[in-house]
Chain A
């Protein structure tokens, strides 16, 4: 049981507002960690900080024994952290397969000139990556939609496609930002299934989720955020009884 991601006293201020304040967090290898909390608790901000979308005000992020604080998003992607976005952020105008294929950006080695000359090695590499993209689509059940434009997919499929693209970067740690919003029960069950199978491939997962039932069902461990601070951490049974958590979700008694 080794720790893959460690966040130490992390803070992010927007003007006078502390979106994240003095946050400590450890993620254990190959677990599914659930991140919950009311709206505006700073969950997405935490993801943005870890994935390098903007730098923290203070504190440290350590991934795989390496200090990654303040690195750019693409550098962090190279180190093995991948993420999905809350709104389905995809390359809408291009086909599903091309979306996943673009995710292989970092694996590609062929030079511009050998591609122009249609060298066998270049075409072979492209074919190989295309095959790997197909494998991911088959793994998540989108294979039959590969020629469809991303914009034409149903909402549930778009969310799955977002995860496919994140998987194409070959991550060690996957950050999922509300993968199940707006899904019906059956779609959500498919998604839970996919997330579990991704974990079974040895990928650590942190997931933001609102629905308590799903969280209880899916996550090994849970962390609760409120106003940018950690108010509880542990198994679902422990969290459920925590007074602060209940207050955060239901309001204080007598108010």
Chain B
């Protein structure tokens, strides 16, 4: 028995160092990409993939706690608008507007979450969906937000001056790419901190069975609110970057369709893998749509087809396939499984009205 335990621990350490080496290699490759790839369009694609992957991570974070959010793009937009307004109206530097808009998005999420998170279940889905529609209307209607023409002439980030070297100017895609890599690194660190710590266990417990978690002393409301705020703040961070990267924003970018795409990325990658899943899923979807060169009109059809195929053949996503070295399951069985999840989701999260016995 003791021997076995030693062996297990040894393997775990091995796994950890292997993972570290893998991450290190990945980091080097990512840093070297602009040296090898000169086409700015591909750099642009990589920036968008990183951003969408981070948004997908926020979806999985909330999914872990049993909440399906439709408001990702809404918070992304709040971050973008906050940052754009701070820069254009108050002439704040990007380097201040970025953290400021993250905090602003977090505070708005705190207020909103206080009202929405209490419910959970299908109620939460509908409410966040309503919020997603309303936020686009708010951006479009009020003059502060520039109406439906949006805000343009959003300044680039100020150059970073370095000692002994030429200052880094944000004139090409490459510095944006490195900035994005840096932001992704921070987000991944924050996420893995929360996932490995006690918060992660509490979130998982709530996601697996809210009733049991509650009886073990987990304050469901507080932990869900925390997840809601973190997810929103991270989406706001991405929004701020997006606003200054594009230089102009319009309300319709931040509609609920964006959220649906982000969810597909997350599910394609595999929702059981909170960080690697979204990255893989977003990368594959982007590559696929680039290779297929499908027009914007047809794209939703293709995407929804992918969703249906996913439910039938790969409910655990691409990562689920790799990890388990899978025996394939019959489509019918998978559909039943997903239906079971949905049923469990509907019945467990609505604990107030349903736990009558």
Interface pair A89/B216, CB less than 8 Å apart: no
Picked from A48, A78, A116, the residue with its CB within 8 Å of the CB of B197 is A116
> Does A85 lie at the interface of the complex (its beta carbon under 8 Å from any beta carbon of B)?
yes
Q: How far is the CA of A105 from the CA of B214 in the complex (A)?
A: 10
Asked whether, in the complex, the Cβ of B217 is within 8 Å of the Cβ of A74, the reply is yes
Taking residues whose C-beta sits less than 8 angstroms from the other chain, chain B's interface range is 20 to 34
A83 in contact with B193 given A91-B209, A102-B201, A115-B198 (CB within 8 Å): no
Q: Which residues of B sit under 8 angstroms from A168, Cβ to Cβ?
A: 216
The stretch among A106-114, A194-202, A221-229 that forms the contact with chain B is: A106-114
Given A74-B219, A78-B217, residue A44 in contact with residue B197 (CB < 8 A): no
Q: Which of B8, B201, B217, B218 contacts A101 (CB 8 A)?
A: B201
Which of B189, B193, B205 contacts A105, CB < 8 Å? B205
Given contacts A105-B198, A113-B193, contact A54 B355 (CB under 8 A): yes
Contact, CB under 8 Å: B356 / A14? yes
A69 adjacent to chain B (CB < 8 Å): no
| Per-residue contact bits, chain A 159-171, to B (CB 8 Å; 1 contact, 0 not) | 0000001101100
Question: Smallest Cβ distance from A70 to chain B, in angstroms?
Answer: 14
Interface size for A (C-beta < 8 A) is 39
Chain B residues with CB below 8 A from A54, complex form: 352, 355-356
Give Cα distance in the complex from A169 to B212, angstroms: 12
Interface: B199 (CB within 8 A): yes
A105 in contact with B212 (CB, 8 Å):
no
Establish whether residues B197 and A115, one from each chain, have CB atoms under 8 Å apart when the complex forms.
yes
Counting chain B CB atoms within 10 Å of each CB, the highest count among A72, A74, A110, A116 belongs to A74
Q: Which residues of A contact B219 (CB under 8 A)?
A: 72, 74
Asked whether B198 lies within 8 Å of A110 as measured between CB atoms, the reply is yes
With a CB–CB cut-off of 8 A, which chain A residues contact B198?
A: 105, 108, 110, 112, 115
Which residues of B in the span 165-214 have a Cβ within 8 Å of any Cβ on A? 189, 192-194, 196-199, 201-202, 204-205, 208-209, 211-214
Sort A-B residue pairs by CB-CB distance and give the 4 closest, nearest first: A116-B193, A77-B217, A115-B197, A106-B217
Name 10 interchain pairs, CB-CB below 8 A, sorted by A. Answer: A45-B357, A72-B214, A77-B217, A89-B211, A91-B209, A92-B208, A102-B213, A105-B216, A113-B193, A144-B1
Interface residues of B (CB under 8 A from A): 1, 8, 189, 192-194, 196-199, 201-202, 204-205, 208-209, 211-220, 352, 355-357
Which A residues contact B (CB, under 8 angstroms)? 14, 44-45, 48, 51, 53-54, 72-74, 77-78, 82-83, 85, 89-94, 101-103, 105-106, 108, 110-113, 115-116, 144, 147, 165-166, 168-169
Given A102-B204, A112-B194, 18 more A-B residue pairs with CB atoms under 8 Å apart are A53-B211, A54-B355, A72-B214, A74-B214, A78-B217, A89-B211, A91-B205, A91-B208, A91-B209, A93-B208, A105-B205, A105-B213, A108-B198, A115-B193, A115-B196, A116-B193, A116-B196, A166-B215
